[in-house]
Every structure is written in C-alpha cells, then in structure tokens.
C-alpha cells in the first residue's frame, strides 16, 4: 500500500508539472503577435511495423488565444475497418495551466463521415467540440491509431494555418519493413528546421515559427508554407499490395490491380451504343455521342466502400443503377468507349480552383478526383464524367492547367491539362440603353460568356426563375429600381458559350444637378473592388485566370437634352493586363462607349503588389466615369 501511494504521488507531481509547462504567460510575446492560436507542441510518430501494420501516435498541445482560434483545435480522428483508434483523449487547461476538463475516448461524438453527395461511405469520425467559457485556454489532444494500410503516411506541416504560431513541432518516422521510404520537402528554404535521417528512422523538427497573416490575393497556403510529404516505395492499400517506386510502376499497379476487368459492359448496352454512333461521321463525333449518353443517363453519387476510395465500382453496376462517383462514372465512360474500339485512359487529378498538380517527382497516392483522357490524333480529348451539363471536351476551372496522372496499360504518365488563356476566356456584351428624362433607363442587354467565364456563369442555368432574378438584383445592387422585364439564357456547348438576353428597367440611375444629368458610363460591368493596401506586404500575390472582356454600350439621349461633355478616351498597359475605353458621340443624339479589359494570371513577387493595386485602382476609377447631359432651353 505504501509503494502504491508513493507511486501515485510521483505520477501526480509529474502530471502537475506537465500542466505547469503550458501556462499561457510562458509563450514568447513575439509568437503571440498576430496569432489566434499557438501550437505549444505537436509530436507525430509514425511506426511502420509491416506493410499492413502501422501505428500513428499524436500528442498535440494548442493554446487558443481568442474565438478566432477555435477553428484550429482539431480534436478528431477518422476510422474505418482498416483504421482503428486505440487511444483518444483530451485535456482542457486554463490560462494558468490548471486542468479544468478531461475527456475520454467514449465521450467523443461518433458520427458517419458521409459528406454531401455521398450515398455510401464506411468511414466514421470521432470528434470533440469544446465550448470555452473564457479565453485563453489550452487543449492537450492525444491519440494512437493502428492502420492496416500503409499507402498514406502523415505529412509534416509545422505551420498549421494562418494566424497560428508554433513553439515546437516534431515528426518521427520509424520503418521496420524492407521497403524504402522517401520524402520531399516543400518551401523549406526560408525556415529553420532539423533533419536526422538514419536510414530506418527519420526525424524532423522545427521551433518558434511566427504566425502568418492571410493577405489579399495570396497563393494557395500549401505553395508558401513549409511541409514534407512521405511515402513507401512498396505499400498496402486495404489488402492490395502496391508499388510507387516510379510513376510508371505506380500506374501499372493502378491499372492491373485496381482497374483491370472493371470496364466490361453487357451485350445489350454494347449494341445500344453501337446503334447510337452508327452514322457518326468521325471518331470525335462518336466520342461526343457516347459522352452525351453518359451525361443524359447517369448522375453523380458518392460511393466510398471498401477500397472504393480508390477503386471504381464495375461498369456493369453503374449501367444497372445509373449512378456512380467520379471513379465509377469515369470507368463507365471508358467501358462504353472501349466497347466501340476507342481507347481511353482513367486519370487522377487534384481538383480545385488552386491548380494543384500531381507532383511529377514524387510517385505516391495523390489526387482527389478522376476523369477521362481520350487520345485523339496528336492530342487528347478530356472528359469530365461527373457533370451532366459541362460541354464535351471542356474541363473548366477545376481541372485545367495542371499536371495529372494518366493510367495506361504501360504505366503511369504525367500529362498537363489544357491551358485556357484570355483569347478563350472571353466575355462580350452588346447593350442598347434608352435614357429617360426622369433619370432612369431601359436596356436591351446581350452578352456571351466563353471558356472559363462560361464555367463561372453556368450556375445560372441551374436556377429557378425567381432565384435567377434575385441573383441579377444582387449582382447589380447599385442600380436603383432594378427590374428584369424579360430574360433568356441559352447555351452553345460546341462553342462553350452562355448567352444572356435581358430586358432591364432601372427607375433611378443618373444624378441630377440643376438642369444637368450626370450619367455613369458603365452600368453593368464595373471593377468595384480595389485590392487591400499593405504598408509592408509579406507574401507574393496571385492573379486569377486570364480573361478578356469587351463591352459595347450605345446610349440614346432624351430628345430634350444635349451632350455637354464626355470622358476622355483612356488606355493603360501593364504586365498584369490592359484596359482601354473609347467614348464618342454618334448620329441621332447617341453615345457609343466601348470598354476592353484584359487581365493576365500569374504569381508575382510582393514587391509588385503596389503596381498591381495601382493598375486595378485606375480601372475602378475610370469605370466610374460620367458623361454630362444638359437640358435644352
């Protein structure tokens, strides 16, 4: 009894001392600057015992300084049939490091990890949401997970997000298998970190990293912040042994072990497709008809069971149920093309606006989406198989201009998807405006959006009439008494264009000063937002996809008014793009205004941010120009 009592005292003292280390006043003041939360320590241990046995241990201590830091607490663990949570706990400390709450594994919420659009998933998550009564507070999160799959190794990201400082972060990888591990660091050159590679054990560590401010137009977080990716050359994914020593070998594994014999359809469907394309004049037309068939006869539903996160369900099953996820629908389209002797390749991509590429120098399981690559003549036709509306051969802003992994019978191949530049991403508007003497106008508005501009506006096609009118009212909320009298939206998928034909009425538009009317020259396509001003910008900046706008307005002036003055023509050119306006009086008491704007995408150093801001500021100012009408005496 005495020995047991002494043991408890020792444990109690050690535990109290551990809490004492997490007093908030021990955080260096320079780390608190600009921070909403501080990672006091984050220790990750990954022990690979065998290809089907891996232990992951996390010990993470975070001090939340204010309510904006709550989002970084991250007290959760995912699990499924191959990933088991062995230990899970949370301790909550106050600002002085005193224990105020303790949570066991059984007290975590246990929910399905099904997300929107997912019909079936076998993933679950245990999570804890702590509701603080005061700030600051500290969370100690500890977990141990046993994982049967070794295809995914935890990344090391010492800076976990914007406005999060770091006192200490470590990552330890222990490899007890005969497969070699590999790693690649990103954006490490500007940070102090320690690396110890012993061949079978790898250690990374970093200390005292200041919080990073989110700045306007900053590139994607992962392209600026330090992080390290890890992988095994030989691994196991849900019972399937894989090889990632090169992209060729990785692709062979995918093709032979995950895709083989899943692209088969029955004779009934094959004969239906044969009849569908019987009179097609070219192979491209055959591909297009098959793609349209998939769009018209299937829908997207997520199915994430077993190794379904990486293996598509069989084409026969998709054909039967008429739905599938990106993998299933891509494989189904591939099967239909194959039935007609047309070769197509299953392709993996990181989908999203940020243009994240598959890393061509680091073969491993990457990507979050599948689509189809069809070789055609000396190029490729790309098919997005999950969308029922996207035009044939067009990718849009989610999968364009990035490296993707094409899975062929000969292995994996890195290919770059199409780049849509300003000559393709166009917007053209032709608007006739009849001004009235009371200060309003009616307008016949005709516009055509093409390329990525079509992609960005195509959501309007899915709206009900009332929703669409509300959307237009929100876009042009500065037009007083705005009313849509008539509207017509049409699509030309072959040209990747959306046409908008609107009849618009605005009751109050111009400013009246005595017998004069001050009329804004640009009612519909204004640059209204000027980038935020920074006295000491820290990060580079990125401009969005290249595009070109051409707006042509013809104003009919009321008979009782004459044109007193017009703004001057204006032209500005820069490395970021160009802007040109011309205004002139034409016959019949009319004014012709033409605006041409081209913006070019790119990543630019922080030193050029002021020049870019000045460029946009000048455009915004000119878009507010007015012409003056005088009432005839």
- Please give the average per-residue pLDDT across 512-541, as a whole number: 95
Name the CATH code of domain 426-631 (choices 3.40.630.10, 3.90.15.10, 3.30.365.10, 2.60.120.1130).
2.60.120.1130
Q: CA 59 to CA 144: how far, in whole Å?
A: 9
Is 216:532 a contact under the CB 8 Å cutoff? yes
Name the CATH code of domain 2-234 (choices 2.40.50.100, 1.10.3470.10, 2.60.40.3140, 3.40.50.1820).
2.60.40.3140
Shortest CA distance to 451 belongs to which of 415, 498, 489? Answer: 498
Is 276:292 a contact under the CB 8 Å cutoff? no
Rounded to the nearest 10 degrees, the angle between the axes of helix 326-339 and helix 283-297 is: 140
Predicted pLDDT at 11: 34
- Please give the average per-residue pLDDT across 448-455, as a whole number: 97
Which residues, 6 or more positions from 185, have their beta carbon under 8 angstroms from its beta carbon? Answer: 226, 227, 228
Provide the strand spans (E) within 509-608: 511-513, 516-520, 541-543, 547-556, 561-565, 570-574, 577-586, 590-599, 602-604
Q: Is the pLDDT of residue 12 over 90?
A: no
Fill in the DSSP letter of residue 105: G
DSSP-assigned beta bridge partners for residue 505: 442, 483
Q: Is the pLDDT of residue 6 over 70?
A: no
Q: Is the pLDDT of residue 388 over 60?
A: yes
- Please give the average per-residue pLDDT across 50-72, as a whole number: 97
Residue whose structure tokens are 């994914």? 237
Q: Domain ranges for the chain, please list them.
A: 2-234, 244-416, 426-631
Domain 244-416 bears CATH identifier 2.70.98.10: no
Predicted pLDDT at 633: 75
Tokens representing 350? 């990181």
The confidence band for 195, taking pLDDT boundaries of 50, 70 and 90, is: very high
Q: Where are the alpha helices (DSSP H) in 349-479?
A: 452-457, 465-475
Q: Is the pLDDT of residue 131 over 60?
A: yes
Predicted pLDDT at 81: 87
Which residues, 6 or more positions from 415, have their beta carbon under 8 angstroms from its beta carbon? Answer: 347, 373, 380, 403, 404, 406
Give the chain's end-to-end CA distance (angstroms, integer). Answer: 110
Provide the strand spans (E) within 289-351: 299-300, 302-304, 323-324, 345-349
Q: Is the pLDDT of residue 150 over 60?
A: yes
Is 618:572 a contact under the CB 8 Å cutoff? yes
Which residues, 6 or more positions from 91, have their beta carbon under 8 angstroms from its beta carbon? Answer: 19, 99, 101, 102, 103, 139, 140
Predicted pLDDT at 123: 80
Q: Is the pLDDT of residue 608 over 80?
A: yes
Helix/strand number for the chain, H first, E second: 10, 38
Q: Which string of DSSP letters, residue by residue, matches 520-536?
A: ES-SSS----PPPP-SS
- Please give the average per-residue pLDDT across 513-524, as a whole number: 95
Three state DSSP letters for 615-629 = HHHHHHHHCCCEEEE
Give 295: exposed, middle or buried? Use CB within 10 Å, 0-12, 13-18, 19+: buried
Tokens representing 384? 């997005």
- Please give the average per-residue pLDDT across 434-442, as a whole number: 95
Q: Are strands 577-586 and 480-492 parallel, antiparallel or unpaired?
A: unpaired
The confidence band for 307, taking pLDDT boundaries of 50, 70 and 90, is: low
Q: CA 238 to CA 230: how far, in whole Å?
A: 19
Predicted pLDDT at 121: 57
Q: Is the pLDDT of residue 414 over 90?
A: yes
The confidence band for 305, taking pLDDT boundaries of 50, 70 and 90, is: low
Query: Any idea which of 18-27, 123-132, 396-405 has the lowest mean pLDDT?
Result: 18-27
Tokens representing 459? 């959501």
């Amino acid at each position: 009894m005495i020995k047991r009592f002494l043991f408890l005292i020792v444990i109690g003292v050690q535990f109290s001392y551990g809490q004492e280390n997490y007093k908030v006043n021990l955080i260096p003041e320079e780390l608190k600057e600009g921070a909403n939360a501080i990672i006091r320590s984050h220790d990750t241990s990954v022990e690979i015992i065998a290809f089907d046995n891996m232990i992951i241990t996390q010990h993470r201590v975070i001090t939340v300084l204010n309510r904006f830091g709550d989002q970084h607490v991250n007290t959760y663990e995912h699990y499924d049939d191959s990933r088991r949570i062995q230990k899970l706990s949370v301790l909550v400390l106050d600002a002085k490091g005193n224990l105020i709450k303790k949570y066991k594994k059984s007290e975590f919420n246990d929910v399905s990890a099904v997300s929107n659009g997912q019909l079936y998933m076998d993933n679950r998550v245990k999570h804890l949401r702590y509701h603080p009564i005061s700030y600051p507070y500290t969370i100690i999160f500890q977990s141990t997970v046993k994982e049967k799959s070794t295809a995914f190794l935890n990344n090391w990201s010492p800076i976990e997000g914007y406005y999060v400082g770091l006192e200490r972060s470590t990552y330890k990888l222990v490899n007890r298998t005969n497969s070699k591990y590999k790693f690649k660091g990103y954006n490490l050159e500007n940070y102090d970190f320690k690396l110890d590679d012993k061949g079978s054990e790898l250690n990374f560590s970093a200390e005292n990293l200041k919080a990073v401010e989110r700045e306007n137009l900053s590139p994607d977080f992962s392209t600026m912040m330090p992080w390290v990716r890890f992988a095994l050359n030989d691994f196991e994914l849900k019972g399937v042994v894989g090889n990632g020593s090169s992209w060729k070998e990785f692709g062979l594994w995918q093709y032979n072990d995950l895709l083989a014999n899943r692209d088969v359809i029955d004779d009934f469907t094959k004969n239906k497709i044969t009849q569908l394309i019987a009179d097609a004049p070219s192979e491209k037309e055959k591909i297009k008809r098959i793609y349209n068939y998939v769009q018209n006869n299937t829908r997207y539903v997520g199915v994430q069971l077993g190794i379904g996160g990486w293996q598509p369900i069989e084409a026969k099953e998709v054909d039967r149920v008429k739905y599938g996820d990106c993998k299933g629908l891509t494989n189904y389209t591939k099967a239909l093309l194959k039935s007609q002797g047309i070769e197509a390749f299953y392709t993996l991509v990181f989908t999203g606006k940020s243009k994240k590429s598959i890393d061509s120098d680091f073969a491993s399981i990457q990507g979050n989406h599948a689509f189809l690559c069809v070789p055609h003549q000396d190029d490729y036709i790309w098919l997005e198989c999950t969308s029922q509306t996207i035009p044939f051969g067009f990718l849009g802003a989610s999968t364009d201009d990035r490296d993707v992994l094409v899975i062929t019978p000969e292995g994996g191949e890195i290919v770059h998807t199409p780049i849509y530049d300003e000559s393709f991403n166009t917007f053209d508007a032709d608007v006739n405006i009849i001004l009235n003497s009371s200060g309003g106008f009616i307008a016949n508005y005709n516009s055509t959006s093409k390329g990525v501009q079509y992609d960005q506006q195509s959501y309007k096609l899915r709206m009900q009439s009332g929703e669409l009118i509300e959307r237009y009212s929100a876009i042009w909320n500065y037009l007083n008494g705005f009313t849509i009298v008539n509207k017509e939206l049409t699509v030309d998928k072959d040209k990747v264009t959306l046409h908008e034909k609107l009849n618009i009425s605005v009751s109050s538009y111009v400013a009246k000063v005595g017998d004069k009317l001050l009329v804004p020259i640009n009612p519909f396509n204004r640059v209204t937002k000027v980038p935020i001003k920074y006295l000491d910008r820290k990060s580079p900046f990125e401009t969005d996809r290249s595009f070109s706008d051409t707006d042509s307005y013809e104003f009919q002036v009321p008979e009782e008014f004459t044109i007193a003055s017009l703004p001057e023509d204006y032209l500005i050119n820069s490395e970021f793009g160009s802007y040109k306006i011309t205004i002139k009086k034409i016959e019949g008491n009319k004014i012709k205004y033409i605006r041409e704007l081209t913006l070019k995408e790119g990543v630019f150093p922080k030193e050029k941010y002021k020049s870019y801001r000045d460029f946009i500021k000048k455009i915004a100012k000119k878009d507010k120009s007015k012409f003056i009408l005088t009432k005839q005496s």
